[in-house]
Structure 1
């Protein structure tokens, strides 16, 4: 999902700008809520994701789940959605004015404005259209709680891995800069005849790279960020990255099963369900739902719709013969499938945690080896030679 910078004619008569997340420029113009005649230009906002992460205020997921449960209870007691939102959420803390809140019409508009989780927005929209909004909000709250429980289960190990990777990168940058600068000073300024070994040459090479090409390295990092989607598509099947790719596919399949189960129980047909999910999805899922919808309209069974390497294989396997099941049997199949996908998600999350931990430890050990052998060994050899 990309970000676009939309410039429009503001109330003061001058040009103002907002950033919108969308697949295309046209979708950004539709989703921004501005009249088309006021929009002056729409251009890609390459740093929109960073600005959103730093500047956008969001409720923690646990708090979102609690708020969704509270809103559901208030709806069941007969209150309107607007009143339930007003009583359950401190929206001013998020920088949302009461005027913006009053401009919302459907439940999804409120949740989008308050920057709720995408799954909650999707389920709320489905429940609203099916007349089962309180149930859908409760299910969204449960989904968020389960996801948070899963995250916490492997979060500690993941944080350790991230910490070790960060330290490893700092060591790989800091040690060559310090040791390389010192060795360079000994050799070129003080004219000390040091005998360098292979790791010493590695340190000197990295020192020259960091000090002589830092602008190039910065430009490469910026380019990687700007073209991260294309780079990910080219590298996601590599041995170390495939775990992240597999977990993303499992998460995509889990989101489909949870949303489709609610839509199906609400009376939606398969084409209606996929069309709804296509309209509400983002990123890679948006394209995959479009392909799935085309396959379904061609007369393919639901299982064949997901016969694609971008979906987890278990989805295709478990949906074979799905149309032949009774309504109760279909619900059971989907419940079992959701449970299995959650187990797979947890499995791959654990693998990613271990991978991060091992990678970080490797970086740190390599850094220590460079420092001990590449820097200290020449100094020790020189000291022994002087004695």
Structure 2
């Protein structure tokens, strides 16, 4: 005799399972119930080092704040301000579109990570623009002593030297062997270069009328301090030979002034880990070269791998294009200025092809700045192009004029 078929209850009438087992405390392995503070030091250091690998120093600082044992297992960023592990090497400060009195947007150009920080300290000082993630501050009262603030660690390095009023560009880092942590200030109006270290009693001022524009381009493009030594001078001599072939004025080609004619030649220097990328813009097209500092040679560049370059007459930068949606690899992005407006263009290095991002201009000139036609940038390309063609005036100079 066949067995009776098993009874299948409708979904709404299924037998309710016994849930008493859910009331029994769950038993976790010993490791899971252990205190976070008892994690092995090697494991803590491994996690901390992963943050330093991507230059996410703020995350490293947050990790150290968890407990005393984690702080003991890791190095203190404030113990050595010049330690490159704790410097904002891959960060830029987007100081034009999103800033407010005490808030800034920082961007990690290698990972594509944005960081919005509230920094009340900025309200107490005049703030100068930086090119490598630091803030250079000046006391509001005379003699306006300078100091350097690291927004990722919260550490401030005090200088006794005064901040010159015409400074618009600042660089923080090694500029001579005797001072691993130095301050380089550029005065655009007088074409002077000021340098100091924390123990300096005064600024060292260099009047650099002839080479100022070259030095400025190296700083704002991340090519400084690689631009030093006989190898660099040897490679640059070959660049000057190329300029003579292009009929370019050696002084004008590095100028921050916008070209007055389509045939005007402009040169941009962009730093990378191993070499300097030289971009020559003329006659509506670009020429891209690799300047090998160690070998002292200049050669055409066929690829920048997964990176993209943004160039502007005020600043330049290199980003990992794979971390930014909409940015194409192996391309140079720049603005083509036509009177009081500007278009964003893209140059594909491999295909040697130039194309506009949009038929309509993306920027319009207001006073001395190029502002986006829209209220907010549509893409990261708009944001980074705005960063390269605009730079704030010196707050100290504006205050003295008022």
Give the TM-score taking structure 2 as reference length: 0.23
Give the TM-score taking structure 1 as reference length: 0.23
Greater strand share, structure number = 2
The higher-RCO structure (CA 8 Å, 6+ apart) is 1
